[in-house]
Structure 1
Amino acid sequence: MTYTVYGAAGSGSVPVEAALTLIGAPYRVVEAVTWEGDAERDKVAAVNPMRQIPALVTPAGETITESAAILIWLAEQHPEAALGPEPCDPGRGQFLRWMCFVPAAIYSMYWVRDEPARLAGDDPAARALIKTRTAERIADCWAKMESQIVPDGFLLGPEPTVLDLYVAVASRWTPHRKRFHEVAPRMGAVMRRVDALPELEAFWADRFPLKGRYGS
């Protein structure tokens, strides 16, 4: 009954691994640092033709891709962990809203900024502009989310959900936590609580430690 996660330290697989850690479900990680080249992407090809991480293979042998889908599915499959509101819960709509907002508005920016040549070609000035504009866009999206959420201990209530785990990881990426705290201070306070969860202390240290340029 073991899950298999195709992922890498510091990547979009980390919130999935964090959720499985809180759930207490056994899992193993197939480390595939896909941004390091075709050999690493090929590790994922058998389960995801996009050759992207994360991908989850369930104990039943089903493959699920897309980080938000995986996190929502895990919360539904393990209600005992209380990592997301159930379908009839009044908070379900906002949970789904923000679980979709993070990949659509923020995570999607990294396909462009990580390899700006995909859109800018060999033009150095265009590449630099993409880097700048995508960082600005990400910060603005965090600010917009901040303006519409009133945390209650955690983002959507007194207990953490997979949304908290998702944001805890995505806010570590460019423009990093320092900028995140500037544009979303209330959410930043929540992320410090997520970082400090004793159940995840060793996990964060191993899979995505907050240090140096990531800020705290």
Structure 2
Amino acid sequence: MSFTVYGAAGSGSVPVEATLTLLGLAFTVVEAPTWEGDAERDKVAPVNPMRQLPALVTPEGEVLTESAAILIWLADRHHPARRAEAGLAPAPDDAWRGQFLRWMCFVPAAIYSMYWVRDAPSRLAGEDAGDQARLLKRTEDRILECWATMDGQVEPGRFLLGDTLTVLDLYVAVVSRWGPRRGRFYRAAPKMAEVVKRVDALPALQDFWAERYPFETGWEG
């Protein structure tokens, strides 16, 4: 039996898929680029009435939504105490646990949420092109402000929480590739820049990145 991920290449399902890959867990993907229209969103509706990505169906049939919740659940479920080769989240009694939960909540609340607006600015700005352009600019500025705020409060080692890779690193590595793209992220968050580059280069994920989020020419913006 395997997991089922409702997702799309380059989307918020990618860190979930990367986590499953690193954990060595079997999964299939129901490809549903929801930004392409109702037909794609309808694919997700049976497991998530919000018709948003990602959604995860466990081998037991349980449905999980919300990217941060899925990542934390997977990392905790397959913690080293139960699976020696995994270790993608600090244990509940680990000194890093509080900061792990803090930033795992910060990324979707402060940054990821901006993309619901950016993917379809008419949702809040109406049909006026000028209003939409202003909304896109303001959300871009807000995203960079939030990355800079996070960068000012973390002290990375090899990874964001010391020297151990966690799902937070995977999460930030993917979300930081969305608009305004990595070039501006590097400038706004220079400490985290070195970490995400390290995540990009993880040998265990090179085939995965090539398939699900390729580093194509000009990808950094």
Question: Scaled by the length of structure 2, what TM-score is found?
Answer: 0.96
Superposed counterparts of 1:20-169, under 5 Å: 20-80=20-80, 81-169=86-174
The separation in 2 between residues aligned to 1:203 and 1:157, in whole angstroms, is 24
Contact 1:32/1:43 (8 A) holds in 2: yes
Q: Alignment partner of 2:5: what SS?
A: strand
Per-residue CA deviations over 1:139-175 (Å, capped at 9, x if unaligned) read: 1100000000010100001111000000010000001
The separation in 2 between residues aligned to 1:121 and 1:100, in whole angstroms, is 29
Higher helix share: 1
The separation in 2 between residues aligned to 1:135 and 1:206, in whole angstroms, is 27
Letter in 2 for 1:178: G
Structure 2 unaligned residues grouped into runs of 5+: 81-85
Percent pairwise identity: 66
Tell me how many residue pairs correspond in the alignment: 216
CA RMSD of aligned residues (A): 1.0
Letter in 2 for 1:192: K
4+ residue stretches of structure 1 with deviation over 2 A?
210-214
Aligned to 1:2: 2
The separation in 1 between residues aligned to 2:217 and 2:122, in whole angstroms, is 27
Structure 1 position 213, deviation (Å): 4.1
Contact 1:142/1:183 (8 A) holds in 2: yes
Per-residue CA deviations over 1:112-133 (Å, capped at 9, x if unaligned) read: 1111101111111110000111
Structure 1 unaligned residues grouped into runs of 5+: none
The separation in 2 between residues aligned to 1:150 and 1:6, in whole angstroms, is 34
Contact 1:172/1:210 (8 A) holds in 2: no
Moved more, 202-211 or 70-79: 202-211
Structure 1 position 87, deviation (Å): 1.1
Question: Scaled by the length of structure 1, what TM-score is found?
Answer: 0.98
